[in-house]
Amino acid sequence: MTLPLIVDDRGTLQVAASDVSKLLRTVGGRWLRLVEAGEETLDEDTVAALTIELAKLADRIDVACIAHSSGQSS
């Protein structure tokens, strides 16, 4: 895995992995709040499943960042 997560063709950081992880968790949290507020256009089970998958992806990114910063390869 290459960190930082998103770089341009010159190797310049565009988006840090930690920002992507935070974004994934924020999107999931907002979807859940919409469902809890009674948003009828969202299916509760689908939102729950997608939120779980986003959190899993964020967790994998976080773990990779930790491993990278501690000098471990994964």
- What are 28-64's pLDDT values in tens digits? 999 999 999 999 999 999 999 999 999 999 999 888 8
Count up the domains in the chain and report the number. Answer: 1
**Is residue 1 in a domain?**
no
Helix (H, G, I), strand (E, B) or coil at 60: helix
Percent of the chain that is helix, strand, coil (3-state, to 5): 60, 5, 30
Residue 4 belongs to a domain: no
Q: Is residue 18 part of a domain?
A: no
**First vs last C-alpha separation in the chain:** 7
50 found inside a domain: yes
Structural domain for 51, as ranges: 23-35+43-73
Band of residue 2 on the pLDDT scale cut at 50, 70, 90 = very low
Helices (H) and strands (E) in the chain, counts: 2, 2
Percent of the chain with pLDDT over 90: 53
Report yes or no on 54 lying in a domain. yes
Question: Which positions ≥6 away from 22 have C-beta within 8 Å?
Answer: 58
pTM, two decimal places:
0.75
